[in-house]
Amino acid sequence: MRYLILSIVIFAFATSAKAFEIEDRAVFGEMKDGPVLRIISTADINYFTPMIDAFRRFRSDVVIEYTVASSTEIMRAVYDEKQPFDIAISSAMDLQTKLANDGLARKHSSSLTQNLPDWAVWNDMVYAFTQEPAGFVISNKILEGLQTPQNRQQLINTLRQNPEIFRDRVGTYDIRKSGAGYLFATQDARVSDTYWRLTEVMGTLRPKLYCCASEMIQDVIDGNLAIAYNVLASYAEKSPHSDKFTIILPSDFSIVMLRTLLIPVSSENPQLAAEFLDFVLSETYPSGVSPLLKTRSLEDATENTLYRIALGPGLLVYLDNFKKKNFISEWESAILQD
């Protein structure tokens, strides 16, 4: 077996009742006397396995413990509990920036990091290694015969005109639980007022709220959803059932999330962590893909419709407790109308 999956609810490091929760865990390699690299990540095991396998071909002596958790649970593990993870990988750029801004990340500089574009690195602590747009995932079967919405205003019109099709069949993130969902929502609202009109329309249709993109995509595949909003195209493209849905990057603007990694100050093996970080940013892993990996959908998109979320302290604005409380309260009023 290439790796061992341990399906446990509370990570072994945790001992208190308030310990952070995990979704999955895998161990790559056999626990012996060699070095161990501990990674905590929002990315599913299958999503990151090719990268880990490639690194272990380069460093076969290294055992990798890979723990999957939500972005908010990663914050609890690294920020609150100071768990000894060597690498933190997250789709929530704002939370990663907060870790670095508040002194919870190590600085790292190398020839690889110095050659990154400015938008892909912040303060030698937070590094982007993917560009992943969020869009609509639409059921081909349920929406058969309807014109496919290409932007947010068209989506609003389609939802309003066909409530019998979309009632109980619209999915989006629960921004109270999903760090990535909260990030997308705040950035969406920052770019255009259309977000709030769309949220109010979705709220009239008894929408289903999710923690994770993978669950939304599966419900589209199973016919439980007609459309999922603000889903990462990178996850949808990897589905073996992609013939059952269409991915739309909205033509008004497509928010592009940068998946990032950092080395926590609590790392017990920072040199090995730096080696792994450089490997991820290099061009030596499978298929010779760019270190700033683009999804297929992004490659087909028009550059002037892309809105890349910028790394930096600007992301901390909506993490202010007062602003966050007000934003979530406004969102609840719009989305929870029943």
CA 28 to centroid of chain Cα atoms: 22
Which two three-digit tokens encode residue 48? 């990151």
Q: Are residues 330 and 209 located together in one domain of the fold?
A: yes
- Asked whether the predicted pLDDT for residue 29 surpasses 80, the reply is yes
Q: Find the CATH number of the domain harbouring 112.
A: 3.40.190.10
Split at pLDDT 50, 70, 90, the class of 205 is very high
Share of the chain above pLDDT 70, in %: 89
d(CA 104, CA 23): 23
Task: Name which of 133, 141, 132, 135 is nearest 221 in CA terms.
Answer: 141
- Asked whether the predicted pLDDT for residue 337 surpasses 60, the reply is yes
Predicted pLDDT at 286:
47
Predicted pLDDT at 261:
95
Q: Are residues 136 and 125 located together in one domain of the fold?
A: no
Determine what percent of the chain falls in helix, strand and coil, rounding each to the nearest 5: 40, 20, 40
Q: Are residues 85 and 192 located together in one domain of the fold?
A: no
Average pLDDT, the chain: 88
Q: Are residues 59 and 9 located together in one domain of the fold?
A: yes
Split at pLDDT 50, 70, 90, the class of 32 is confident
pLDDT in tens, 43-54: 888 888 888 998
- Asked whether the predicted pLDDT for residue 287 surpasses 80, the reply is no
Q: Provide φ and ψ at 176, rounded to 5°.
A: -75, -20
d(CA 61, CA 269): 14
Helices marked H in the chain: 45-58, 71-75, 93-101, 111-114, 152-161, 163-166, 179-191, 194-203, 213-221, 233-237, 270-281, 296-300, 321-335
- Asked whether the predicted pLDDT for residue 67 surpasses 60, the reply is yes
Q: Structurally, how many domains does the chain consist of?
A: 2
Q: Are residues 264 and 189 located together in one domain of the fold?
A: no
Q: Are residues 172 and 103 located together in one domain of the fold?
A: no
Q: Are residues 62 and 105 located together in one domain of the fold?
A: yes
Split at pLDDT 50, 70, 90, the class of 211 is confident
Q: Are residues 146 and 242 located together in one domain of the fold?
A: yes
Distances in Å between the alpha carbon of 188 and those of 107, 134, 181, 254, 300? 30, 10, 10, 9, 21
Strand partners, 307: 255
Share of the chain above pLDDT 90, in %: 65
**Which domain, by its residues, includes 307?**
132-256+300-335
d(CA 309, CA 317): 13
Q: Are residues 245 and 277 located together in one domain of the fold?
A: no
Q: Are residues 307 and 289 located together in one domain of the fold?
A: no
Predicted pLDDT at 288:
41
Task: Name which of 222, 221, 244, 217 is nearest 233 in CA terms.
Answer: 217
Q: Are residues 150 and 22 located together in one domain of the fold?
A: no
39 burial level (CB within 10 Å; 0-12, 13-18, 19+):
buried
Q: Are residues 174 and 227 located together in one domain of the fold?
A: yes
Which two three-digit tokens encode residue 13? 């490091």
Predicted pLDDT at 234:
83
